[in-house]
C-alpha cells in the first residue's frame, strides 16, 4: 500500500478577542468616572481640611472623640478651655471625671466621653511614652478610639492613609455617587478602599465632608449648584441638568 500522508487537523478558528465585561471598565466604578469625580472634587474643594481646631495629635485625638454625635463647631467651643486646663496626656490623665464632665458637658454623652479621654490619656502615658501612637493597630487600643477616629488622626497629623474616614456625609454621598452600596460605615470604607487610589483616601474624606455640609445635604441636596451633578445618578437628586 502506498504510504499516505498524515492528515493534519484543521487549525482551530481563532476567536476574536473581546475585553472581559467588568465593573472596572463599565458602569459607576469605571476608572474614567472615578477620576472625573475626584477631579471635580479637587476643583470645588482644593484646600479641604479637618474642621476640628487642634495644635497637636493629642488635641486632635481628643477633639475627634468629643465630636461623636456632636458638631465640630460645638467641639471647637469646648476644647480651648479643656486644653488650657489639661494641655498634655500627662495632665489630663490626672484630671478627675467630674472636672472633665463639666468641661465637655455640652458635647453630649459626656459621661462616656470623659471616661474615654481620661482612659486614652492614661494609656498614652503608661504605654506610649506620653506620645500619641502612629499606627492604626495601636490607636484603636485606646479607650474611645475606633477605626474612624484613628484614621482621622493618622491622616491629618501624620499623613498616613491606613483607612478612609467614613462619617455620616461620606457614608451618604459615597452611596449617592454609586461608589458604595454597603449598609454600614465599615462596609462602605472597605468598598472605598478598593476603588480609590490610596493617595486620595485622606483628601477624599475631607472633600466629601465639605460637599455634604455645603451642597449635598441629607434632606435637600443643592443639585443645581453641584459640580458633580452631570456624573451623579442618585435617586435623591432634586434637579437634573
**List 167, 178, 187, 237, catalytic entry:** 167
Of the candidates 65, 66, 100, 228, which one interacts with ligand SF4 according to CB under 6 A?
228
* Measured distance CA(142)–CA(157) in Å, rounded: 17
**For residues 123 and 211, which CB has a smaller minimum distance to ligand SF4 in the complex?**
211
236 touches ligand SF4 (CB under 6 A)? yes
Contact assessment for residue 52 and residue 76, using Cβ atoms and an 8 Å cutoff:
yes
* Measured distance CA(82)–CA(107) in Å, rounded: 12
167 catalytically annotated: yes
Let me know if 145 is exposed, middle or buried by CB neighbors in 10 A (0-12, 13-18, 19+).
Answer: buried
Taking the complex as a whole, how short is the minimal distance between the CB of residue 26 and ligand SF4, in angstroms?
20
Of the candidates 56, 76, 112, 234, which one interacts with ligand SF4 according to CB under 6 A?
234
**For residues 147 and 169, which CB has a smaller minimum distance to ligand SF4 in the complex?**
169
Q: What angle do CA 49, 53, 55 make, to 5 degrees?
A: 100
**For residues 42 and 102, which CB has a smaller minimum distance to ligand SF4 in the complex?**
42
Q: Which three cell numbers stand for residue 44?
A: 470645588
Let me know if 126 is exposed, middle or buried by CB neighbors in 10 A (0-12, 13-18, 19+).
Answer: exposed
Torsion of the alpha carbons at 124, 128, 129 and 133, rounded to the nearest 10: -90
216 touches ligand SF4 (CB under 6 A)? yes
Tell me the HSE value of 175 on the side-chain side, using a 13 A CA sphere.
16
Contact positions with ligand SF4 (CB under 6 A) in 190-209: none
Taking the complex as a whole, how short is the minimal distance between the CB of residue 73 and ligand SF4, in angstroms?
22
Q: Which three cell numbers stand for residue 43?
A: 476643583
232 touches ligand SF4 (CB under 6 A)? yes
Give which of 17, 8, 34, 78 is closest to 179, Cα–Cα.
34
175 touches ligand SF4 (CB under 6 A)? no
Taking the complex as a whole, how short is the minimal distance between the CB of residue 226 and ligand SF4, in angstroms?
3
178 catalytically annotated: no
Give which of 142, 187, 165 is closest to 49, Cα–Cα.
165
**For residues 41 and 103, which CB has a smaller minimum distance to ligand SF4 in the complex?**
41
Taking the complex as a whole, how short is the minimal distance between the CB of residue 220 and ligand SF4, in angstroms?
9
Of the candidates 176, 179, 189, 204, which one interacts with ligand SF4 according to CB under 6 A?
176
Q: Please list the active-site residues.
A: 148, 167
Contact positions vs ligand SF4 (CB under 6 A):
176, 215-216, 221-223, 226, 228-229, 232, 234, 236-237
Amino acid at each position: 500500500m502506498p504510504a499516505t500522508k498524515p492528515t493534519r487537523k484543521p487549525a482551530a478558528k481563532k476567536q476574536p478577542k473581546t475585553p472581559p465585561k467588568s465593573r472596572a471598565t463599565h458602569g459607576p466604578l469605571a476608572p474614567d468616572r472615578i477620576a472625573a469625580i475626584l477631579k471635580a472634587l479637587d476643583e470645588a474643594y482644593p484646600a479641604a481640611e479637618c474642621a476640628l481646631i487642634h495644635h497637636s495629635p493629642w488635641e486632635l485625638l481628643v477633639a475627634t472623640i468629643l465630636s461623636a454625635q456632636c458638631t465640630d463647631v460645638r467641639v471647637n467651643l469646648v476644647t480651648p478651655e479643656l486644653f488650657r486646663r489639661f494641655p498634655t496626656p500627662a495632665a489630663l490623665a490626672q484630671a478627675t471625671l467630674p472636672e472633665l464632665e463639666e468641661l465637655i458637658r455640652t458635647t453630649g454623652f459626656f459621661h462616656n466621653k470623659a471616661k474615654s479621654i481620661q482612659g486614652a490619656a492614661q494609656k498614652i502615658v503608661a504605654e506610649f511614652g506620653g506620645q500619641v501612637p502612629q499606627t492604626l493597630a495601636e490607636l484603636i487600643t485606646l479607650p474611645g478610639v475606633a477605626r474612624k477616629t484613628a484614621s482621622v488622626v493618622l491622616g491629618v497629623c501624620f499623613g498616613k492613609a491606613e483607612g478612609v474616614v467614613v462619617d455620616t456625609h461620606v457614608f451618604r454621598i459615597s452611596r449617592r455617587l454609586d461608589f458604595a452600596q454597603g449598609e454600614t460605615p465599615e462596609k462602605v470604607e472597605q468598598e472605598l478602599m478598593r476603588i480609590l487610589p490610596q493617595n486620595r483616601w485622606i483628601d477624599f474624606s475631607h472633600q466629601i465632608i465639605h460637599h455634604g455640609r455645603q451642597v449635598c445635604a441629607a434632606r435637600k441636596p443643592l443639585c443645581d449648584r453641584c459640580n458633580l451633578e452631570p456624573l451623579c445618578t442618585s435617586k435623591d437628586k432634586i434637579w437634573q441638568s
